[in-house]
């Protein structure tokens, strides 16, 4: 037996005009917030040792849109630009600088070419995007503590000289210390999320990066739950992934 039909609803003109007048005068009113939560959104994050390209605009625009929506709803929002200002790529830039300009300490090298392709702040200004830039160097001391904490809990294994963490049920481990004693993106991401949970007291943490990093974040979140830094029922941690931009070579 199938029943089909229509339900007709009649709205009084006075009711409709009242709603429209309210919208026109007061704008769209967000629903009341049961509690004002703190949201940390990690977005944009271009590689500052390489040329900025159109791909970075995806994270920048999606992340900023999310922030504006959260702010509109009344949340406290911290917008973070997590940039790699530490590690191998910077060592390579410094080594290149020393090769090309051995007297760089006394004679300033020309950096016009660097500035020409890195109009960083200019792009943010054009898009009216405000960010707090916080590089990996900010978390450097905290990375030491992260490794100690994982070791103390007996969660670190040695693998060909590397110190690794195997969160249960995950396809890959995290490398917290390389065989040469250096840290990795895994270590800095663990330090960053620890800082956001314990120092920033975030209720919601969102990472806006391309889908290619979804496995990485899945493993990081699993490791953080394993060590007990957050309970997913209490703190919401999300990777908001988006598509990747591929060249003709795929």
Q: Is residue 21 part of a domain?
A: no
Q: Is residue 211 part of a domain?
A: yes
Give tens-digit pLDDT for 152-206: 999 999 999 999 999 999 999 999 999 999 999 999 999 999 999 999 999 999 9
Q: Who wins on pLDDT, 194 or 49?
A: 194
Q: Is residue 214 part of a domain?
A: yes
Q: Is residue 213 part of a domain?
A: yes
**Domain total of the chain:** 1
Q: Is residue 158 part of a domain?
A: no
Q: Is residue 81 part of a domain?
A: yes
Write down the pTM of the prediction.
0.82
Q: Is residue 176 part of a domain?
A: no
What integer pLDDT is reported at residue 112 of this predicted model?
63
- What's the CATH number where 75 sits? 3.40.50.620
What integer pLDDT is reported at residue 111 of this predicted model?
66
Q: Is residue 44 part of a domain?
A: yes
C-beta of residue 187 within 8 angstroms of C-beta of residue 137: no
What is the residue range of 226's domain? 35-137+201-239
């Amino acid at each position: 037996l199938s029943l089909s039909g229509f339900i007709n609803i009649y709205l009084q003109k006075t009711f409709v005009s009242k709603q429209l007048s309210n919208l026109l005068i007061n704008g769209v009113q967000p629903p009341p917030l049961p509690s004002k939560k703190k949201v940390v959104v990690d977005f944009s994050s271009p590689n500052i040792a390489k040329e900025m390209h159109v791909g970075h605009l995806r994270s920048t625009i999606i992340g900023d849109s999310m922030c504006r929506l959260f702010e509109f709803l009344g949340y406290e929002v911290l917008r973070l630009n997590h940039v790699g200002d530490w590690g191998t790529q910077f060592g390579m830039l410094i080594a290149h600088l020393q090769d090309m300009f051995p007297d760089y300490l006394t004679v300033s090298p020309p950096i016009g070419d660097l500035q020409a392709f890195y109009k960083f702040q200019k792009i943010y200004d054009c898009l009216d995007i405000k960010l707090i830039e916080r590089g990996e160097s900010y978390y450097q001391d905290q990375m030491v503590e992260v490794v100690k904490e994982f070791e103390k809990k007996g969660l670190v294994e040695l693998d060909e000289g590397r110190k690794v963490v195997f969160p249960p049920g995950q396809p890959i481990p995290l490398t917290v210390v390389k065989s040469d004693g250096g840290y990795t993106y895994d270590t800095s991401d663990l330090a960053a999320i620890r800082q956001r949970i314990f120092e920033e007291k975030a209720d919601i943490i969102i990472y806006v990066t391309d889908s290619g990093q979804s496995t990485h974040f899945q493993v990081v979140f699993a490791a953080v739950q394993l060590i007990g830094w957050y309970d997913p029922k209490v703190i919401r941690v999300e990777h908001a992934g988006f598509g990747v931009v591929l060249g003709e070579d795929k």
